[in-house]
Amino acid sequence: MITTVINPARNEWAALCRRNTPDDADIEEAVGRIIDDVASRGDEALRDMALRYDGVKLADIALRADEIAAAADRVSDEVKQAIAVAADNIRRFHIAQQPRAVDLEVMPGVRCLQRPVAIERVGLYIPGGQAPLFSTVLMLGIPASIAGCRHKVLCTPRTSVSDIAPEIIYAATVCGIDRICCTGGAQAIAAMAFGTDSVPAVDKIFGPGNRYVTKAKQLLSRRVAIDMPAGPSEVMVMADHTSVAEFVAADMLSQAEHGPDSQAILVCDSESTARRAAEAIERLRPRLSRSGSIDRSLSHSRAIVLPDRSDMVDFANTYAAEHLIISMERPWEIADAITSAGSVFVGNYSPESAGDYASGTNHTLPTAGWARSMSGVNMDSFYRKITYQQLTPEGLASLAPSITAMARAERLDAHALAVEIRTHKQLLEYV
């Protein structure tokens, strides 16, 4: 049974919003060693770590074309059709997000432009483990393809317990991914950052992972760009008397099954709503296969009772959930007041599962409160924007007094000279 907290004081909210992700110095030290090893030994280090951590002896780190084709043939027609539907929706929604160029004459003779330019080389990380997250391949690979990223490499581990899921490989082919490499963990992130004989170096790394992967992304962000420090997954459900207890419970359980560090938070308007949800969780839980992960996740999940709607909104914005589900009366009134969330699911018939797989929105989202300052993956993630300016002689002459006054006030005389030498012929003749 999840813990229920009744009408907590605001000075208790910070503790109630705390995630189950302690900052472990041992992890940082271990990841630092892995990074150094990959940087110095490349593929040799990747092979050694595959044997040590995953129990598999790698011959080729990158999959061959015949292996990719054979894996795609093993995917059922049902799953291929499901991937096609999801890919179409993801593609449609992300095409609509494409950034536009800006071309503006800010004053006569002064033209400013901004153009989006695709990141040349992107690395996509797909975790291993019991859940083959081929949906994440679509969420990262499709926008990368739409943006026009020229080189796309995917890293995912091959282990002694399970080979790379054929669905992951098939989804990669759907997205036009150039290279699939059989390496995982912090070592995969290091390989994409530095480059090895088998794993090309990239300009930006995308994708979720465990604490080792997240720490590697953070440590290497000084060398290579990253999407965000995405940690264990989380959901918050906001519910009132109009919610359906079984729906709320299923949403919380679907998050809890991601892993023992995942967190599910219920914010509701009454003790009866909290009780009904908790009872539904107990009824539904025995049906599910990942009982170990679910039980450990629920042990640090909780229900918060806040009878006032405005307090519920304030608490939700304080928590800044990766996924926020609003199962309340007049849900858009609540949604419009939300300022901190990765992705919001509005109404009783909008489960998080829809966004995770096939509605079209991206499921690679900020966790651990990062939604207060960061966005989830979107089309902007795959571009950098270059600005341009062109001034005519007349435009520069009009702007010169402002430029030179500011430059001299900052005691940067050469900046002023660069303008004056163009606008004062006698100065040019003197030089």
In the numeric block, the tokens 């581990």 are attached to: 157
User: Contact, 171 vs 138, CB < 8 A?
Assistant: yes
Provide the whole-model pTM: 0.93
If asked whether residues 35 and 116 sit together in one domain, one would say: yes
Is residue 37 domain-shared with residue 76, that is, in the same domain?
yes
Decide if 377 is inside a domain.
no
The 10s digit of each residue's pLDDT in 37-56 is 999 999 999 999 999 998 99
- Tallying the residues shown for the chain, one arrives at 431
120 known member of a binding site: no
How many structural domains does the chain have? 3
pLDDT tens digits along 251-303: 999 998 988 889 999 999 999 999 999 999 999 998 888 888 888 888 889 99
Considering the domain architecture, whether residues 103 and 199 belong to the same structural domain is answered as: yes
Task: Please report whether residue 374 resides in a domain.
Answer: no
Over residues 327-338, the mean pLDDT reads 98
Inside any domain, residue 375: no
**For the residues 393-399, what does the mean pLDDT come to?**
96
* H helix or E strand, kind and range, residue 178: none
Same domain for 223 and 288?
no
Q: DSSP E strands: which ranges in 110-244?
A: 110-118, 121-125, 151-155, 179-181, 204-206, 225-226, 234-239
What is the per-residue pLDDT across 157-175, written as a single tens digit (0 to 9) for each?
A: 987 777 899 999 999 999 9
Instruction: Report the range of poorest mean pLDDT among 18-27, 207-216, 399-408.
Output: 18-27
> According to the model, what pLDDT value does residue 180 have?
97
Q: Are residues 259 and 348 in the same domain?
A: yes
**CATH code at 286?**
3.40.50.1980
Q: Is residue 379 part of a domain?
A: no
What was the pLDDT predicted at 178? Answer: 83
125 DSSP β-pair partners: 155
Domain boundary among 179, 206, 229: 229
Q: Average pLDDT, stretch 13-35?
A: 89
Residue 356 is assigned to a ligand binding site: yes
Active site residue 300: no
Q: What is the pLDDT of residues 196-219, one digit of tens each?
A: 999 999 999 999 988 899 999 999
Which one of 360, 384, 405 terminates a domain?
360
**Interval 393-410 mean pLDDT:** 97
The one catalytic residue in 234, 323, 352, 363 is 323
What is the extent of the structural domain holding 9?
Answer: 3-20+232-360
Indicate if 318 and 406 belong to the same structural domain: no
Task: Look up 424 and say whether it is catalytic.
Answer: no
* Mean pLDDT over the full length of the chain: 94
Q: Is 363 annotated as a binding residue?
A: no
Q: Are 408 and 142 in contact (CB under 8 A)?
A: no
Smallest CA-to-CA distance from 258 within 352, 144, 393 is with 352
Q: Judge whether 366 lies within some domain.
A: no
Q: Quick one: pLDDT at residue 428? A: 60
Q: Any binding-site annotation on 258?
A: yes
Q: Which of 234, 257, 322, 352 is catalytic?
A: 322
Are both 187 and 286 inside the same structural domain? no
